[in-house]
Amino acid sequence: MKILIINAGSSSQKSCLYNLTSDHLPKYSIKPIWKANIDWTVAKGQGILTVEANGIKKNKILNHKHFCQAIPQILNTLIQGKTRVIKNFLQINIVGHRVVHGGTDYSEATLITPDVKAVIARLIPLAPTHNPSHINGIQAIEQVLGNVPQVAVFDTAFHCHIPLKSAAYPIPYEWLEKGIRRYGFHGISHKYCAEKAAQILNKSLTSLKLITCHLGNGCSLAAIKNGISIDTTMGFTPLEGLMMGTRSGSIDPAILIHLIRQYNFTANQLNTMLNKKSGVQGVSGISADLRSIIQAVNEGNYRAQLAFDMYIHRLRWHLGGMLGSLGGLDTLVFTAGVGENSAIVREKTCEAFEFLGLKLDPKKNNNFSVDTDIATDDSTVRILIIHTEEDWAIAQECWKIFNQRYLSL
């Protein structure tokens, strides 16, 4: 069974192809036979496409503004040249898409139909940097692969059990009835990391209190108790919560009122400022990439130092909120690009919580490998670095749906 995954993020797009040869879903993740990633942060209006297959790695510059325009070119590497891994597109059995916002309409992965596409489109105002790409990606797959089954796996689904006291905003109740509430995001990653943490620790997930830190260009925390998300930092949209690469995270809402009244800001201008020109990039004036910020800090750049200090402060502050929701902590998990690769971010974050008995081993932290425990032996809280595998998690959902709906016919 061949499963194609399309995972569109805010600064990168990842695609991969899995080949499942067994009648049973593997307990542990397997490697895809083909991967294609696009990084849009390198140059304005351009992307760097990297394709890996058959032991070969190829790079190419794409002069496309949108991922969907590049999909035919990307998919052709599946059937052509040295990265060819299938004879033709008919060999692809099912396609899985990461979809950021499913609202309250979908609490689990679902087969994509016109109605599902309509809901994803309707929710674009709530995830303006993601849901449009999802719709375009689904349509592009339809054009290239025809009627192949497509599955939407929603980032919001894992957080659907968050209690109402956490999900509701303290505004007039009628707005809650109209759907203005906290949904949470990065659910695919948070769920995968929670399950992986239980495997690493050889403990039942239902016995653990975890905080998972998904730190990439987009950032969020999740408080997970007995395998269920009970609180998270992102809310009505992916803008709430932590300071991020280009997103502000939570700010005083009266700032927006002030900008509208005093400077005639429009809704579109505010949206662009908060989602694309704020966060680490907005404060530093350098980059949304924390690696560039840390390099500038080492060179004595004041604004880079301020951006980094704010990033750590807000990460610690929100971690405190998750601790309060959990009423304790067994395991702290770092994942995604920054969480997996930045030793200094992990170090500075953990420093503030040593009073809990949480002790980071400096040697393990600086000479780390993924899917490992970097706490000291006597730490009362385990500290894990986990390589998030959203693509594999999506593939698992596709496998289940395909077997339920098609092989049973």
Active site residues: 155
Q: Return the amino acid letter for 188.
A: I
Beta-bridge mates of residue 219 = 215
Structure tokens that stand for 20 in this block: 């499942």
111: left (phi over 0), alpha (psi -120 to 50) or beta: beta
Beta-bridge mates of residue 50 = 37, 59
Instruction: In whole angstroms, give the CA distance from residue 231 to residue 108.
Output: 18
Task: Report strand pairing: 331-335 vs 382-385.
Answer: parallel
The CA-atom distances, in angstroms, between 18 and each of 3, 349, 394 are 5, 36, 11
Q: What are phi and psi of 17, to 5 degrees?
A: -125, 125
Q: What are phi and psi of 291, to 5 degrees?
A: -65, -40
Instruction: In whole angstroms, give the CA distance from residue 387 to residue 37.
Output: 17
Q: What angle do CA 42, 48, 51 make, to 5 degrees?
A: 150
Strand order across the 382-385 sheet: 228-232, 219-225, 209-215, 331-335, 382-385, 372-373
Q: What are phi and psi of 400, to 5 degrees?
A: -65, -45
Residue identified by tokens 């002069």 is 63
The CA-atom distances, in angstroms, between 302 and each of 294, 298, 305, 309 are 11, 10, 5, 11
3-state secondary structure of 260: helix
Structure tokens that stand for 263 in this block: 């400077």
Instruction: In whole angstroms, give the CA distance from residue 310 to residue 279.
Output: 9
Q: What 8-state DSSP symbol labels residue 87?
A: S
Closest of 84, 13, 21, 80 to residue 53, by C-alpha: 84
Q: What distance lies between CA 18 and its chain's CA centroid?
A: 20
